[in-house]
Amino acid sequence: MTYWLIAGLCFIFATTLFMLFRWGNLPCTGPSPTKSLTFIAILFTSGLDVGLIMFPLTEFGMYANTTENPEYSFANPLAIEFGFWAFLIWTFYFMTCFYFCIIEPKVKFFEIPIVKFVNNIIIIGTCAFTGYLLLKNLPWYLPALSNDGEISGYYYLIVFAVVVGSVLTSMSIRAIRILSVSTTWFFLALIGLLVYGAVSSGTVDLYTYPQTIALVGEYFTNIHQFAFPMSDYHQFYLFWWLAWCIMIGQFTSRFAGGLRTYQLLLAMLVLPSVMIIAWFSILYIYHVNQIDISGMYTIAMVVVGIVFVLNSLDSLTRLYTDNLNFTVKRYGKAKYILGNILLLSSLVLFFQLDFLQIEWIGSIVIGIFFSCTTYVLIKKREVISEIDKTLITESDPKTVEAA
């Protein structure tokens, strides 16, 4: 499975470079274009889930323990955590966003019945995995609701409420947009709250924050270490990102607002990474200085984490229901709501029983990449010339007249 993953990663990086050098100046506009900041908010909140909020405090210690985990000794724990979540791996989302914005409308590979079926299975399975992660991590953040860290009925109720909320908001694209922008502001407010809490505790001063942010520099000096799996845990993360990348690209491409390809790549790599740096750095301060996060801070983190899950699930629910034509217009609100709630709730339980693995989904995604490329090269090679003509038209109308 590791070699299959490496093959998929090589494909992504090579394809990204090809897109950038061949169509770097091509405007990318989706069917429902939005302003660039709104697009980034949709990307950020749809493309991340509860793990962003809840995982770092459980992982810094593992990355710091280089005696048992020598593979992480080349950089500090903050840089390692950042590398698992940010910058280079956002090329996954860029590649699929560009594909669905520019190439898929001409190729229609994902309209082939078997491909469409498999793609929607991936989307539904990943939705359920997101709910499962929330369920699994709630005992760590809200231990008062369980006995000895066991998953109690309260956690099931919380996850069920999130599933219900996501299904309800998925019925409206406008609601998804508003929730995405609101979630981004909630996230920034959470960062501000934790910065205030750290400084007001008297343990650190305000200058500690930028000094901690600077530690992320070790990621960029060792960026090559993150291109391929350095450990089994890193491999899990990479498969996790792969499992998400087709559906996030398919969803966010709808809202691309005309950024040129190179601008889209920079925006998708840099802007989410800046927010992730800000968040991970303050969490690292709490970890290193053993600042208490109980009470208000924990509750705030859980609330924002839940909103992130809600944001991810409603986007993906809207995507697979549109793909399958399982819409409110066709079946009515009652059937739409009940059907999606039963489907997602059941699959969350399947993940808890280890019936499904995110690595399987990531492996299937790699297979789709190779299948799509083969299909384009054999049956749709003329698409390349059509895209080139679009680029000529946008950059120099006189040239296309001469052509």
In whole angstroms, what is the distance from residue 310 CA to residue 19 CA? 32
In whole angstroms, what is the distance from residue 83 CA to residue 332 CA? 44
Are 293 and 53 in contact by the 8 Å Cβ rule? The answer is no
Query: What's the pLDDT tens digit per position in 380-393?
Result: 888 777 776 655 55
Residue 270 pLDDT > 90: yes
363-392 residues labelled b (16+ CB within 10 A) or e (exposed)? bbbbebbeebeeebeeebeebeeebeebbb
Can you list the domains of the chain with their CATH numbers?
A: 2-402 (1.10.4160)
Q: How far apart are the first and last CA of the chain?
A: 47
Taking residues 277-291, what's their average pLDDT?
A: 94
In eight-state DSSP terms, residue 194 is H
Query: What's the pLDDT tens digit per position in 67-120?
Result: 999 999 999 999 999 999 999 999 999 999 999 999 999 899 999 999 999 988
Tokens of 74: 């080349």
Note the pTM of the prediction, 2 decimals.
Answer: 0.87
Average pLDDT, the chain: 87
pLDDT of residue 403: 33
pLDDT of residue 177: 84
Query: What's the pLDDT tens digit per position in 174-215?
Result: 888 888 888 899 999 999 999 999 998 888 888 999 999 999
